[in-house]
Structure 1
Amino acid sequence: MKVILSKRFLLTTVIAILGIGTVSALSFDQQQEFDNAPVVGMYRFVIPSELQGAYNSVGVENLTNSMIQEPNTLSMNVAHVKTNPTTSYVIEIYKDGNALDTHRKSEHFQKYVNEVGSKLTNRKLYDVQPMLLMEKAEPLSAINDNTSVVSMTEFTIEKNEEDTILKQYQLDIERAIRDDAGYKAGYILRDRNNKTYWYVIQIYSDDVAYKKHVSSPGYRFAMGQIQPYLKNSKTEVLQGDILVNHGGQSFLRN
């Protein structure tokens, strides 16, 4: 079954989340077709220095209340660039468009938009769709613990190698979820408009867990299998700020 979401709905959501005043060269009346996979939002922005305190306090309130009050808001993650704490990334996962709409209308989200979200700068929206979403069974709640690590890898894949790459990542992430206490979640996304461009986001309890994973035989074997089919691969290691989920998420695109 497919779900049809209007451009009006999607752009209204983007405007609310990122504080965008106007969106040009797009028709609100166009329709766009999306499949019934979970809805993923991914954003990057800069937090002005004078907003750092408010951004953190209101952000924590928004994301933790989302976990308490919104069972279909599945995962909310904020992390910053270690060498530049003012630059942050957000990855949000919702069961479906209705869950996203519920979050967007919530009191805690509206407070975030009014006090902070509308004042962020250098915003970028990534138009992505999930390929794989996996989490440990137990809920995650890592809030300003100063130890959590988020790795973000992006690359271009060779055409016709999608199945190989997804399978190798799936095997490695499933193993890490099962066997590594410090490995918390793995998300694979692709650009909706350029399906050969992928992002891999992985969440760890700390730097030790991150280094353990990337040096493990399973990870090295998987990377050895897929490396010939990747182009322009780059990885950025981020400091986790607010990482919360209900746990147990398991989605694989067929």
Structure 2
Amino acid sequence: MNKSSIKRIILTMIIAVLGIISAGAVSFERQEALDNAPVVGMYRFVIPSELQGAYNSVGVENLTSSMAQEPNTLSMNVAHVKTNPTTSYVIEMYKDGNALDTHRKSEHFQKYVNEVGSKLTNRKLYDVQPMLLMEKAEPLSAINDNTSVVSMTEFTIDKNEEDTILKQYQLDIERAIRDDVGYKAGYILRDRNNKTYWYVIQIYSDDVAYKKHVSSPGYRFAMGQIQPYLKNSKTEVLQGDILVNHGGQSFLRN
């Protein structure tokens, strides 16, 4: 075989390999685009002291109007750091991208952006995907009740144990939703760009309900099963400000 023939064969092999890689990349992008999971947004920001009053009043109007007028806006949650009330988190959920667009175009959201949202500082956007979203069947409406508690836990997982970790959390959250009156919702999210970094957000009616859950046999068993596969786990307990949903959400990523 002459050198020219060998070069042609090598070139053909390279083109074939590149074609396979390209096809794989396109396939992955299509899977991401076709993901039918709810859309979740999570944000953290600081509210300047002079905006506290407007932030609260306009924020309540925005979120409660969303529940009343947007059936595909599933859940809206605002909570602040107990030791630093100016730092707040928002976790919001939509049926799909169209529902998110509908919310952003709404009059109440535009009013919020113009009067408050555009003036918030130290903003951080968490690019997340839902792994599990579960709520009690009845709608939740806890607005400045001064008792609601939101726990936020974040950690890195052993990627080989993703199924075990998700299953144990699922069993515990399902039990709490079913049996604990004060347990309102449990959400598990992961970083879109680092799928081994997870967030667990859980909503309780009050501090008693929170302590009851984390001391329950079911929770302790679940944590015992997954703790060896978690790294750098940390939990922050937040004060709920506005926690509203339609209720009944039940999503589990396959």
Q: TM-score range by the shorter chain?
A: 0.7 to 0.9
Distance 1:83 1:232, change over 3 A: same
Cα gap change, 1:8/1:74 in structure 2, threshold over 3 Å: closer, same or farther? farther
Structure 1 residues 216 and 162, CA gap change in structure 2 (3 angstroms): same
Change (3 A) 1:24 1:132: closer
Aligned length: 254
Shift of 1:182: 0.0
Residue 30 of structure 1 corresponds to 30
Query: Unaligned 5+ residue runs, structure 1?
Result: none
Verify the 8 A CA contact 1:38 1:93 in the aligned structure 2.
yes
> Residues 42 and 90 of structure 1 are in contact (CA less than 8 Å); yes or no, is this contact kept in structure 2?
yes
The 3 A distance-change label for structure 1 pair 152 and 111 is: same
* 1:12-43 Cα shifts (integer Å, max 9, x gaps): 99999999999999999999736110000000
* Cα distance change on mapping 1:199 and 1:5 into 2, 3 Å: farther
1:37 partner SS = coil
Structure 2 distance, partners of 1:116, 1:127, is 22
What is the rounded CA distance, in whole Å, between the counterparts of 1:39 and 1:3 in structure 2? 56
Give the 3-state SS of the residue equivalent to 1:199 in structure 2. strand
- The Cα shift of 1:83 comes to 0.1
Query: How far off is 1:242 after superposition?
Result: 0.0
The structural deviation recorded for 1:135 is 0.1
Q: What is the alpha-carbon distance in structure 1 between the residues aligned to residue 5 and residue 55 of structure 2? A: 30
User: Any conservation in 2 of the 1:47–1:87 contact (CA below 8 Å)?
Assistant: yes
Distance 2:206 2:153 in 1: 17
% identical aligned pairs: 90
Alpha-carbon separation, structure 2, partners of 1:27 and 1:112: 39
Give the match's secondary structure for 1:241: strand
Q: Cα 1:56–1:2, aligned 2, differ >3 Å: closer, same or farther?
A: farther
Q: CA deviation at 1:233?
A: 0.0
1:19 and 1:131, CA in 2 relative to 1: closer, same or farther beyond 3 A? Answer: farther
CA contact 1:159–1:196 (8 Å) conserved in 2: yes
Q: Is the 8 A contact 1:7 1:28 kept in 2?
A: no
| Compared CA separation, residues 82 and 97, structure 1 to 2 (3 A) | same
Q: 1:5 to 1:50 in 2, by over 3 A?
A: farther
Q: Which moved more, 1:117-126 or 1:4-13?
A: 4-13
Contact 1:73 1:99 in 2 (8 A): yes
SS where residue 194 of structure 1 aligns?
coil
**Which has the larger Rg?**
2
Compared with structure 1, are the counterparts of its residues 45 and 217 closer, same or farther at alpha carbon in structure 2 (3 Å cutoff)? same
TM-score by length of 1: 0.88
| Distance verdict in 2 for CA 1:113–1:146, change over 3 Å | same
In structure 2, do the counterparts of structure 1 residues 111 and 214 end up closer, same or farther at CA, with 3 Å as the change threshold? Answer: same
Residues in 2 aligned to 1:246 and 1:220: alpha-carbon distance in whole angstroms: 29
Q: Report if the CA contact (8 A) 1:67-1:73 is conserved.
A: yes
Which deviates more from structure 2 when the two are superposed, residues 4-13 or residues 81-90? 4-13
Give the whole-Å Cα distance in 1 for the aligned partners of 2:224 and 2:162: 15
Give distance in 2, aligned partners of 1:209 and 1:3: 77
Instruction: Name the CA distance, whole Å, in 2 between partners of 1:11 and 1:220.
Output: 59
* 8 Å contact kept, 1:2–1:34: no
TM-score, scaled to structure 2: 0.88
- Counterpart of 1:100 in 2: which secondary structure? helix
Residues 22 and 54 (structure 1 numbering): CA distance in 2 closer, same or farther, change over 3 Å? Answer: farther
User: What is the DSSP-based 3-state SS (H/G/I as helix, E as strand, rest coil) of the residue aligned with 1:237?
Assistant: strand
Q: Classify 1:101/1:200 alpha carbon distance in 2 versus 1 (closer, same or farther; 3 Å).
A: same
SS for the counterpart of 2:45 is strand
User: Displacement of 1:159 after TM fit?
Assistant: 1.7
SS at match of 1:181: coil
Compared CA separation, residues 25 and 177, structure 1 to 2 (3 A): closer
